[in-house]
Structure 1
Amino acid sequence: MAGFSKYKNKSGEFWKFTYYGGIDPKTGKRKRSTKRGFKTKKEAQLAAEEIEKQIRIGTFKNHKLTYGDVFDEWWITHKKTIKPSTISRKRSLFKKHILPRFDKIKLLDISRQYCQEMIDDIANSLNTTSSASDVKIQANLVFKYALKNDYIERNPMEHTVIPKKDSDFTASNEEERNFWYKNEIKYFLEQLNEKAIFQYYVLFYLLIYTGMRKGELIALEWDDINLDNKTIRINKTMFFQDGKEVIQTAKKQASNRTISITDDDVKLLKKWRTLQKEYFLSEGIRKEVKNVLTREDMRPLRLAHPNDLLASHIKKEGLHKINVHGLRHTHASLLFEAGASIKEVQARLGHKDIQTTMNIYTHVTSFTAQKTADTFLEYMKSE
């Protein structure tokens, strides 16, 4: 029910009314709004009746509602449906790329042309087309929410396109690979074993020989390893938020898995557990060690630490440049070369989508295709 009152300004006496329109994201209740500038109470009453009718039948559009208002309202519910690590990543994406361009603009004033200009600007500021596409997807979620709640009649982001970069049209002579071949792995581990502390050797050995994600390995506890049954239970991951370590259970069924390990793996882990206990005892610490990999104060490793170590050793040894995730890719590639099926590799790596596994398989088959050609040439040269 609208409330009416008379007010004065420099131009004379006028009527205004208050009504409840859009939703306040903090309270979940409708916001109180005011319409001013009516010469008579009757004019104000007629305008109020029209707004109340629109609210009642669901056609009311709040012309003051900004993109930021709708984002706040949408975010309250949306953040409850995603993982804490995803919350941090998405919030950063909105803060850095989306809200600076849309926040204060009234929702009904955002046009398709403006959205395209913003997507062009975002794509130009980012390194890859896929990064710009991710920004578009997230920004579009807010517009979809606004459309569903009848704040807008059409989605201005719907038909925007991601501009291609020159590199998208340029064929490279050699596809960049983010994995190592068997001889590169052997050399890397040999050098680590000779030059690095044993924990770092264990770190990279496990990444290569189990295919675990970096966060999964950093969160791994001794209780997750059954040395008698030769299995490792992977059911959580580690990420850092606001400078604090956060353990997150694996919500995806595929990521929650148990993998088998070999006798060599067991031997290595037994040796490391003994050395780890001896080190902490020598430091006067008798507390049971929880994590397989730790800092000197028994906290888990920093997430960025493996990245720094790998980059340093690659530079020192002149190895083909890959990132830590490339070691997981390497594990999958070697499994394929050894004859494992796509489904077996998918289960071991915890891929929810088999297409992810298939993408790795493509790299391997292109490599084996070259080996097949070389084998044929050798055969033809032989007597």
Structure 2
Amino acid sequence: MKGYYKRRNCECDDPKKCSCGKTWTYWVDIGPDPKTGERRQISKGGFKTKKDAEDAVAALITDVKQGTFIKESKILFKDFAEQWLPMYIDRTCPKPGTIRLRKYGIKKLLPYLAHIKLKNVSEEMFQEALDDLKANNLAKSTLEGILATGKMIFDMAVHKKLIREDPTKKVYIKKDPKVINETDDEKNQDEDLPNYFEKDELKVFLDAAKKYGLFMDVLIFTLLAYTGMRVGELVVLKWKDIDFTKRTVRINKTYYNEYNNIAKYELVLPKTEKSKRKIVVSNLVVEMLKKYKEEQETIIARLGDSYNNKGFIFTNVKSHQGLPILTKLVENRMTRLLKLANLNTKLSPHSLRHTHTSLLAAAGVELEDIKDRLGHFDDAITRKIYLHVTDPVKKEASDKFDNFMESA
């Protein structure tokens, strides 16, 4: 098994003194196919020097002799990615949101790799694609999802013996350099905090819901503010999740609707196992739920058989009666009320979750208890809000210590 080497497409008069910069290609016979007996010839190009090509042939011959040789497939990245997705779904049974993320990851990689053969995708090529996506200001979490998708695709290709090595094994997301700005002050650090209501602002907002709110608005926004639940968890609450005697709300599912089609919603498991929880609510919330239940029962009786009663609390009554409302509806309703109350229109239903965190912290609730109530294992935003709200308390403690020492 000896190799044959040549600078492909080299037009120089003396190949030994080539100045055109063409790369080296090797051809080597590796013996007959053990199954068919047919001749097998392997070729590969792109080597900068003849020595590089010779080293590659030596490694190839070793693999053949040891029985570890893999004839790499000529399949294109786009074609294998299309084949991979159904295999991934079948093997892992992911949530709809996860499937959407994998599709998004493939979509972002296609402009760079679509028409390249799997076997020709190099570590440098994939790294350049990831770096370019980062340069387009994609969030770190988004880049992590794209990288994870790429790694799974090439890992499967190795497993299926379509390629010898995974080009993504050493690929990484470049970190931004940390620069300390001497002019940074407490105000600048606070700019990293998410939007949320201060206590008096929340009162203004809930008062606006009472005065200007549409059907369900007061209960929706009070429940979000007083429990900190996610809007996707709220819209799929059922009456069986409410224990009026123990004053608890059980959260064990969330809402998924990729195209905002009311009839094509899905109930999926919460974000994490920690998200499954029971929240103790105030008497105010319990009484509001009881009152709303009576109103809903009147509506159900009026609509009769046209109401598809699945036990949901927040349902459509004009069309698709009985099915859960869209999360988009909650967002639109909130924007409307914010405008009417002359409040910050950048706030969202999720801002009420952050508001709940800040008010619990201000009330003296410990961070771990707040995380349990919100259904977090750990969350940087929750921790940041907590530390921001409790910082004045720490200053007060320090001042009390100083006063005590001075009075001694």
* TM-score normalised by structure 2 residue count: 0.70
1:47 aligned counterpart, secondary structure: strand
Name the amino acid aligned to 2:194.
Answer: R
CA distance in 1, matches of 2:104, 2:159: 23
CA distance in 1, matches of 2:96, 2:113: 24
Whether 1:61 aligns to 2:71 is yes
Partner of residue 239 from structure 1, selected from 246, 256, 280: 256
Give per-residue Cα distances to partners, 1:159-209, cap 9 Å, x unaligned.
444356799988682324232222221111111111102401111111111
When residues 187 and 372 of structure 1 are mapped into structure 2, their CA distance, relative to the original with a 3 A threshold, is: farther
Whether 1:139 aligns to 2:150 is yes
Cα distance, 1:60 vs structure 2? 0.8
Partner of 1:350: 375
Please tell me whether the aligned partners of residues 76 and 117 of structure 2 are also in contact (alpha carbons under 8 angstroms). Answer: yes
Map of 1:329-344 to 2, 5 A cutoff?
A: 329-344=354-369
Aligned residues: 337
Partner of 1:79: 89
Identity, % of aligned positions = 26
Q: Which moved more, 1:191-200 or 1:313-322?
A: 313-322
When residues 91 and 137 of structure 1 are mapped into structure 2, their CA distance, relative to the original with a 3 A threshold, is: closer
Whether 1:322 aligns to 2:347 is yes
Cα distance, 1:45 vs structure 2? 2.6
Cα distance, 1:106 vs structure 2? 0.5
Cα distance, 1:48 vs structure 2? 8.3
Partner of 2:312: 291
Please tell me whether the aligned partners of residues 129 and 163 of structure 1 are also in contact (alpha carbons under 8 angstroms). Answer: no
Please tell me whether the aligned partners of residues 112 and 156 of structure 1 are also in contact (alpha carbons under 8 angstroms). Answer: yes
Q: Which moved more, 1:169-178 or 1:330-339?
A: 169-178
Q: Runs of 5+ in structure 1 lacking a partner?
A: 1-39
1:238 aligned counterpart, secondary structure: strand
Please tell me whether the aligned partners of residues 249 and 280 of structure 2 are also in contact (alpha carbons under 8 angstroms). Answer: yes
Give per-residue Cα distances to partners, 1:48-106, cap 9 Å, x unaligned.
8999x969934313240332344344433322424332344224313531234323311
Please tell me whether the aligned partners of residues 333 and 361 of structure 1 are also in contact (alpha carbons under 8 angstroms). Answer: no
Q: Runs of 5+ in structure 2 lacking a partner?
A: 1-31, 43-59, 404-408
Map of 1:143-292 to 2, 5 A cutoff?
A: 143-162=154-173, 173=188, 174-241=191-258, 243=261, 244-250=264-270, 252-283=272-303, 290-292=311-313
Please tell me whether the aligned partners of residues 58 and 150 of structure 1 are also in contact (alpha carbons under 8 angstroms). Answer: no
**RMSD, aligned α-carbons:** 3.7
Partner of residue 389 from structure 2, selected from 367, 370, 373: 367
Q: Which moved more, 1:332-341 or 1:198-207?
A: 332-341
CA distance in 2, matches of 1:158, 1:289: 48
Please tell me whether the aligned partners of residues 230 and 263 of structure 1 are also in contact (alpha carbons under 8 angstroms). Answer: yes
CA distance in 2, matches of 1:346, 1:368: 15
Please tell me whether the aligned partners of residues 222 and 290 of structure 1 are also in contact (alpha carbons under 8 angstroms). Answer: yes
Please tell me whether the aligned partners of residues 119 and 132 of structure 1 are also in contact (alpha carbons under 8 angstroms). Answer: yes
Cα distance, 1:360 vs structure 2? 1.0
* TM-score normalised by structure 1 residue count: 0.74
2:327 aligned counterpart, secondary structure: coil
